[in-house]
Amino acid sequence: MENIRRYLYQNKIKTLIVFLLQILMWGMQVIVQFFAIKTFDGAIRLDIHHFLKWISISFAGWLAYYLICMLESYFRAMAVKSMNNDLRKHFYETIYNGDIKNFGGEKRAEYISYITKNVDEISTLAWESVFNLVGRVAQIVWSVAALLYLDFYLFLFAVFSTLIMWFMPKIFEKRIEKIGEDNLKAQAEAMKKFKDLIYGVHILKILSAKNWYLKRGMDASEISEEAKSRKNYMTEILECTMGIVSVLMQILAEVIVVVLAFYGRIGVAVLAGAANLIGGVTNGLSNLTNAKMMIMQSKPYFEILKSTDVEKVCVGSFNETLTLKNISYSYDDKQILESLNMKFKKNGKYAIVGKSGRGKSTILKIIMGIIKDYKGEVLYDGRVREKALDTSMSYISQDVYLFNASIKENIVLGGEFSGTDISDALFKSSLQTDIENFKDGIDTIVGENGANISGGEKQRIAIARSLINGKDTILIDEGTSALDRENRAAIEENLLKSENLTIIMVSHNLDENTRKLFDAIYEI
């Protein structure tokens, strides 16, 4: 409940309005039962005036009840919407603050699953259940108070029923939480497989691997549906068990009402309302129990928000030298780097070249702080830098990611920049001519991950956004590989002739003119 309370408190005005309306709504329903008693009393006494009077009042009471219901539904929808948005915001922050190593591979599928499906699950299991729980508590309290007014023995029975129905779910608590946890894991696993298939369907189609594609798809579907089926079945079993207890309480209550009427403790007309009031207690308790079980199932869905895997960020950068000292790194028992030593001066221009698989990209990721489980030291001005992400640097990879937004938005990323700053970045990245050829210019939408533009244009946008953000150290990992020779030469020349930039570039293909612009070229 601690996780749920956080979001309820953040939206306390909306939730308090919902709670208040629920109290009024169930209170009105109980009051209508007293109107029914009065109406039934008039019918028994054959008093038509009394009967018509109270049946009219009953109609007005029901009308008021449903008007309150409509208001409650509106404010409940607004509260759920706000809490879902707050939940997603919290999740976005958790992802952003997490270790950068989690941003690729299988984790992406888990994150997508959480933002979409899991938020919907929390909405049903947590938010709606809490509102139902409060509403059912109000229903029970109003009904018990009414029964106390009618007869003390009815009140005692209501208290007894409440205790039975309240504590029964605790018998199933661990089992319910386990069901929710297993379902969450299964859906995350299925999402990974779905994502894997969708991303690779074009390869399978080219290679005519339809049968394998369908088999993998159905395997993923089976994982998802089996977990949901097991969860739904076990939930129904538990609800049916509680339903049996609820029915037993209802039957026993009706027997007690008849006995009390038989001995003259309550009037015959009370039978009309008392049965409904007792039903309000037993049904309220049954629904209350179901709400508690659903809240228990929601617990695993909040666990991902408790991640302690927070990204460390470097404080400060280097002023004179960046040194790699005795750096070694292995991956999957394969030695990538061993006792590597390199030195880079502030505002210097450096290239790292070598055959594929020698660890060139790994060096840049160690410098940037993306890779942290290396041996050796990264030194800033002779001081050992902690193993953390250095956000004072910019990293341009061969695999550029663009958002489904305009070219301008992909460059500025929400920052405030002058027209001069933007024009300068476009010029240095050789993007200006392309912009002029687009119908919508810099406001052209690039599509999902730049689907509407070429690979070269994607790389130039990545270079432009690195330049405009004012980072004075730029790491380039084959960041111009998709460009034609002319544009590549122009961009590299602009970067390498910038006096206030430290450039460390990984490349397979350095032409002779570009080589002359580097202060040093490391070959590994």
Q: What is the pLDDT along the chain (524 residues), one digit of tens a residue?
A: 677 888 898 899 999 999 999 999 999 988 888 888 778 777 777 888 888 888 899 899 999 999 999 999 999 999 999 998 888 888 887 777 776 666 655 566 667 767 777 788 888 888 899 999 999 889 888 888 888 887 787 778 777 877 777 677 667 767 777 777 788 778 778 877 777 777 676 666 666 777 877 888 888 888 888 887 887 777 777 777 777 777 787 778 778 777 877 777 776 667 666 767 777 777 777 787 778 778 877 877 777 676 556 666 776 778 899 999 999 999 887 888 889 899 999 999 999 988 887 888 889 988 888 888 889 998 898 888 888 777 788 888 888 888 888 999 888 888 888 888 899 888 888 888 888 888 888 998 988 878 888 888 888 888 888 888 878 888 988 877 767 777 788 888 888 888 888 999 988 777 777 888 899 999 88
Query: Are the C-beta atoms of residues 400 and 345 closer than 8 Å to each other?
Result: no
Residue 470 main-chain phi, psi, to 5 deg: 75, 20
CATH of domain 2-306: 1.20.1560.10
Q: 524: exposed, middle or buried (C-beta count within 10 Å: 0-12, 13-18, 19+)?
A: middle
Residue 414 main-chain phi, psi, to 5 deg: 85, -5
Task: Give me the amino acid identity at 454.
Answer: S
286 CB-near residues (< 8 Å, 6+ apart)? 165, 242, 243, 246
Domain map of the chain by residue range? 2-306, 321-523
Class of the domain covering 321-523: alpha beta
> Strand 321-331 vs strand 334-345: parallel, antiparallel, or unpaired?
antiparallel
Task: Give me the amino acid identity at 359.
Answer: G
Q: 215: exposed, middle or buried (C-beta count within 10 Å: 0-12, 13-18, 19+)?
A: exposed
C-alpha–C-alpha distance, residues 320 and 457, integer Å: 34
Mapped onto helix, strand or coil, the DSSP state of residue 338 is strand
pTM of the predicted model over 0.85: no
pLDDT of residue 268: 64
Residue 316: alpha-carbon gap to chain centroid: 32
